[in-house]
Amino acid sequence: MTAPDPFLPQPWRVERRRRELIGAVTLELAPLAGARPDFAPGQFNMLYVFGVGEVAISLSGDAERGTTFVHTLRNVGAVSGALTALQVGASVGVRGPFGRGWPLAEAEGADVLLVAGGLGLAPLRPALYAILARRERYGRVVIMVGSRSPEDILYRRELEHWRRRPDLEVLLTVDHADADWRGHVGVVPALIPHAGLDPAETLALVCGPEVMMRFTANALLAAGIRPERIHLSMERNMKCAVGQCGHCQFGPFFVCKDGPVLRYDRIGTILAVPEI
């Protein structure tokens, strides 16, 4: 909790802006006053653009380093469009961090599989930073990233860098490619049966479009991973971020405060029901 009033934004400033992909940027925000609040990997902030509105964006920076909030977002609407157009020096309103993040303490001692689809890598990146910072506490660590095409791979340079680490397995796949692409082509769940996972030891963290997460969860279950060891980061409409406006309801959950990371054994039955 940053402010006594959870509804009142605090003024922050765009410190850096990096274009990631077509329509997607990473903003680094610094507080105008005080220090960056602590956050947990998987949490999100509400970002406000003056006169336009507010939108929920996951945190995608390192929770244990730096003095800024890092957000990677895509222009998909009025507010996110205004955010992606902000230049260095612009002032934004920030509320947060909110929500329950990835179960990194529970993951200690386990093999960790991170499965990202598209921009779903952004909310997973802080989890990977945290795991790598205490690498010895985890077993095998595998990250699978699915993207639309080679040009759409988020954080590609960082992924290449991680790929060279001997203690991290990075598997990239794209939905389609031209003949120059040397990596996997196919959907990310198709990587799961061939990854040699030890189902009894593996805990899976999944983030991406909801359909991709459903397919991924099914592949994980088919690989023998228990439902309570599969964690999905859900997306719903968020307005208040504190469980008081009702917009993000997902069955018995408020995605903003019970999630966004929810365990598959709790949501599996409603995940495939239309319009829940």
Partner 1 sequence: MESLEEILGRHPFFAGFEAEHGRLVAGCARNVRFAAGQYLFREGDPADEFFLIRHGRVALELVEPGRPPVVFATLGEGEIVGASWLLPPYRWRLAARATELTRAIGIDAACLRGKCEADHHLGYAMMKRFLPILVERLQATRLQLLDVYGKR
Partner 2 sequence: MDALPTTTTAAVLDRDGLQALIEALAARGFRVLGPLVRDEAIVYDEIAGVADLPAGWTDRQGPGQYRLERRDDQALFGFAAAPQSWKRFLHPPVETLWRVRQGEGGLLFSTAAEATPRYAFLGVRACDLHAIAIQDRVLCEGDYRDDAYARRRRGAFIVALNCSEAGDTCFCVSMGSGPKAAGAFDLALTELLDERRHEFLVEVGSAAGGEVLASLPQRAALDADRAAAAAVVERTAGRMGRQLDTAGLQALLQDNPEHPRWDEVAERCLSCANCTMVCPTCFCTTVEDHSDLAGGSAERVRLWDSCFTLDFSYIHGGSVRQTDKGRYRQWMTHKLSTWFDQFGSSGCVGCGRCITWCPVGIDITEEAAAIRATPHVQGGSHGES
Cβ within 8 Å of residue 270, ≥6 positions away: 250, 251, 276
Q: Which does 187 bind (CB under 5 to 8 A by kind): partner 2, partner 1, none?
A: partner 1
How far is the C-alpha of 122 from the C-alpha of 111, rounded, in Å? 21
Q: Which does 133 bind (CB under 5 to 8 A by kind): partner 1, partner 2, none?
A: none
How far is the C-alpha of 63 from the C-alpha of 39, rounded, in Å? 6
Binding mask 63-92 for partner 2 (x = CB under 8 A): -------------xx--x----------xx
How far is the C-alpha of 69 from the C-alpha of 60, rounded, in Å? 8
Task: Assess 177 for contact with partner 1 (CB under 8 A).
Answer: yes
| Residue 1 to residues 7, 65, 256, Cα–Cα distance (Å) | 11, 19, 14
Cβ at position 208, least distance to partner 1 in Å: 7
Cβ within 8 Å of residue 209, ≥6 positions away: 117, 118, 120
Q: Which of 24, 34, 56 is nearest to 43 (CA)?
A: 56
Q: Is the dihedral of CA 224, 101, 83, 237 positive or negative?
A: positive
SS3 of residue 48 by DSSP: strand
Exposed, middle or buried: residue 27 (CB in 10 Å: 0-12, 13-18, 19+)? Answer: buried
Cβ at position 186, least distance to partner 1 in Å: 5
Residues 139-178 that bind partner 2 (CB under 8 A): none
Cβ at position 6, least distance to partner 2 in Å: 4
How far is the C-alpha of 99 from the C-alpha of 257, rounded, in Å? 5
Task: Assess 183 for contact with partner 1 (CB under 8 A).
Answer: yes
Cβ at position 248, least distance to partner 1 in Å: 20
Cβ at position 57, least distance to partner 2 in Å: 12
Binding mask 46-65 for partner 2 (x = CB under 8 A): --x-xxxxx-----------
Residues 196-225 that bind partner 2 (CB under 8 A): 218, 221-222
How far is the C-alpha of 250 from the C-alpha of 120, rounded, in Å? 19
Residues 128-157 that bind partner 1 (CB under 8 A): 146-148, 152
Q: Which does 46 bind (CB under 5 to 8 A by kind): partner 2, partner 1, none?
A: none
Task: Assess 117 for contact with partner 1 (CB under 8 A).
Answer: yes
Q: Which of 51, 122, 36, 48 is nearest to 83 (CA)?
A: 48
What residue ranges bind partner 1 (CB under 8 A)?
23, 74, 76, 117-119, 146-148, 152, 173, 175-179, 181-187, 189-190, 193-194, 208-209, 211-212, 215
The residues that touch partner 2, with contacts defined as CB under 8 A, are: 1, 4-13, 32, 48, 50-54, 76-77, 80, 91-93, 218, 221-222, 227, 235-237, 239-240, 242-247, 249, 251-254, 257, 264-265, 268-276
**Residues in the annotated binding site for [2Fe-2S] cluster:** 240, 245, 248, 256
